[in-house]
Copies of this chain bind each other. A is one copy, B any other.
Amino acid sequence: MSLRLDDQLCFPLVAAARAVQAVYRPVLAELGLTYPQYLVLLVLWESDGQSVSALGQRLHLDSGTLTPLLQRLERSGLVRRERSQPDQRVVIVHLTPSGDALRERAACIPSQIVGALGSAPDVDLAAFKATLQRLTEALVMEPG
């Protein structure tokens, strides 16, 4: 194994992740969202009223990342946070009506993004995604 940048696997992966987020950025900016905020909303649109730790498991993020992010979403009026009655340690995140309504405005985003990605030729998206998921799962289970 060499130390040449072009021989590394990780750099293309990280660079691609940054590049794709850059495609989302202007689209999401119109909704006043960042990409990680959008991910949180995706999860809540699927199933509202989840705890911080449940969101963290789904997105592989910890409370140090989620707490301030959720506070910003709360200041934007998109979510509401409240302690669970049965377990006061747990904070449940709910969509507000405005957060729920944003779902309709976001509906067109996936196709917009796919359109922008369309110029990447000959990429088997399904297989590519499967590879990414296998890789992530293998690493998350890892030594640590």
A-side residues, CB < 8 A to B, are 1-5, 7-24, 26, 35, 39, 42-43, 45-46, 58-60, 103, 106-107, 109-111, 113-114, 116-117, 119-123, 125, 128-129, 131-136, 138-144
Contact = CB atoms under 8 A, between A and B. Distances in A.
Nearest to A58: B5
A15 B143 CA distance: 18
Contact of A135 (B20, B46, B103): B20
A20 B16 contact: no
Contacts of A2: 110
B106 A22 contact: no
B116 A46 contact: no
Contacts of A7: 110
A90 to B, nearest CB: 21
B117 A1 contact: no
